[in-house]
Amino acid sequence: MSALWIDTHAHLDAAEFAAEEVAAWRMQARQRGVARCVIPAVARSNWDTVRELAHRLDDAYALGIHPMCVPTAHDTDLDALDDALHTHRDDPRLVAVGEIGLDFFVPELTEPAMRERQTRFYRAQLRLARRHGLPVILHVRRSADALLKGLRELPVDGGIGHAFNGSLEQAQTFVERGFALGFGGASTFDTARQIRRLASELPVEALVLETDAPDIPPQWLYATAAERAAGRPQGVNHPRELPRIGEVIAGLRGVAPDELARATSDNARRVLPRLAALA
């Protein structure tokens, strides 16, 4: 039997996945070998949704406040997150605090006041992860050094650096702190030289796989600006694409896809230990 894959980052509550069809779409991914998905929250408004989805789909979830949602978040949401993590502390499907982190790419998030607010929410959520004994799922976009600074000052029980696109030195520092790094659709583009270098050269113990569905479509789903202007819609990423993404990364590393599936799934269960109880 072929090895099974774990998609460590899939926003199955997104509008692109119609609620009445998500179970059928998830079954398609399961039939292709995707045994488990981790569904991260992004804001207080979807905490219940991701939890209910994880239970309905036999998957896992994380609770947190995404840095891109910080501008509309309230300070009281941090207290509510503390309460939610306490309320669901015995839920084996709650595997992490996430998606949290810092985004210094989106222009409106780089203004000094918003950088400070992002940092305050990030550090507060690191404290909550420490309090509740959970790893974290980090949004890393032009923010690796700032995230690492927070982890040095407020160490947590490891986790995942989602959609990692930093330097080799930054990658190694995250790994030394107990993190695995997420690789997905971006790795399928020949032009993504840094990401492909990391995916091929990092120790296999450093890697987990993800789709970030419905975002970061692989090359075969991606429509360029010219193609979109000509009427081709942008492809929607989906957990069912994970095995094919894994095949590309396995090719970069010169290993069999089954070998990569086993290794990256073991890594996911190591950095998100509650996943192991669901296997």
Cα–Cα separations (whole angstroms), residue 183 to 51, 216, 224: 24, 10, 21
CA distance linking residue 154 with residue 81, whole number of Å: 18
Question: What distance in Å separates the CA atoms of residue 214 and residue 207, rounded to the nearest whole number?
Answer: 21
The answer to whether the annotation marks 210 as part of a ligand binding site is no
Please tell me whether 88 is known to bind a ligand. no
Cα separation, 267 vs 51, whole angstroms = 23
Report angle CA 253, 37, 18 to the nearest 5 degrees. 120
Q: What is the CA radius of gyration of the chain?
A: 18
The helix (H) or strand (E) run that includes residue 102 is: strand 94-103
161 bridge partner residues = 138, 181
Buried b (16+ CB within 10 A) or exposed e, 55-86: eebebbbbbbbbbbbbeebeeebbeebbebbe
Burial class (CB in 10 A: 0-12, 13-18, 19+), 264: buried
Q: Is 11 marked as binding a ligand?
A: yes
48 is in an annotated binding site: no
- H/E stretch holding 90 reads none
Is 238 part of any known ligand binding site?
A: no
Q: 212: annotated binding-site residue?
A: yes
Exposure on the CB side of residue 38, measured as CA atoms within 13 A: 37
Closest CA to 109 of 139, 152, 145: 139
Query: Binding site: what residues are annotated?
Result: 9, 11, 99, 139, 162, 212
Give the residue numbers of the binding site for a divalent metal cation. 9, 11, 99, 139, 162, 212
